[in-house]
A and B are shown apart, each in its own frame.
Chain A
């Protein structure tokens, strides 16, 4: 191995030297100097790449799995057939969708609460985020967090909105189609989902809040979608 090959080897493999590279290093003072600088660079590179991992990541991964639907499509089909055969009503057939559980889990466990600002986010920043998924917001002025997230594997906008009555979570889901409005109470929260544009919107508020309906109405009026 000559000096050019040695340096190419270092730039390809970092500081892992094979036998021939090690042999060259032992005999070449120029390459020893090069290798010293290279090892410093590799150390810095490893540090730069090793970005801090968010606290609680492992717990949130496990929690998300616990909210995942446990049945596959075949199981659902079998249950649906059974329910039909005993004359179960359509409402039972279209029972609670796992989407609401996903929304609640995400609302409670996501980074949003940790990242929520003390002051309203600049509307330009909020618009940039919502606009990325084709949504426009008007009249929701006090937004403490806005970011992109994934709900059931599809991109959504996640917002934390402050009101005089309390804080609620809003999901704008342009690719999560719903046929009709759904509302469920889960674990001390009310999750309301309704069709909007080509997708849907989800609102998560504390259960028993008497401002659910007014909030939903406000959100319906505030959100519009680009074609």
Chain B
């Protein structure tokens, strides 16, 4: 009985100890010295991340507040390849359970709007808000674990983006204004979660999207001004065509053949739901 009382007291008192978490500010930046391209890799294990276009005179900048007991900051640049690695990584190996206090880490990463950017995001238990509008994005790769991620292309990409690869685990991902991304090819792999793909924005060329999803609720926001064709392979998945017309094995928008620019979507989904909304 005494032992039980002691255990009870310890368990009850532990909350106070856990909540007194020590955060450590860390800042890193690099001046722009005429670099024309940047390969940026952002590894963020846990916390909140915001990515925005940076200052004119800087290649990158990261302002981070991290849990010094469990994480270490990542900041490395290789001038020979113009490759920068930024973020936080777990201190030491082993299995760790992410607590709410660890999620209080936050980082703001600014990337140069003057250099061609190859961006790779690796997100763990992260709530990420990534503004890619205004950046010269040449390609994009996103690996999201148990995260809630929003990718915005609020301004048109000044250059052509080759590919955007998005791979999500148990995540909620929104990609907004994909028309501004000017990516030739979009590849998305989704695990369990919810995904919103908004193809609005300024279209300058046609796009191809390959979507492979499992146990995912997919919401497609399609622009009326673009001809849309969806080739679908689905198993135990619902589909609300909402204005698309069936043509053989495909679903197409009524003015697909007359449209100047096309969005061709190859969708493979297993157990889930696909909903279509139209935007002007």
A binds B: no
- Measured CB to CB, the residues of B under 8 A from A are none
Question: Which residues does A use to contact B, with CB under 8 Å?
Answer: none
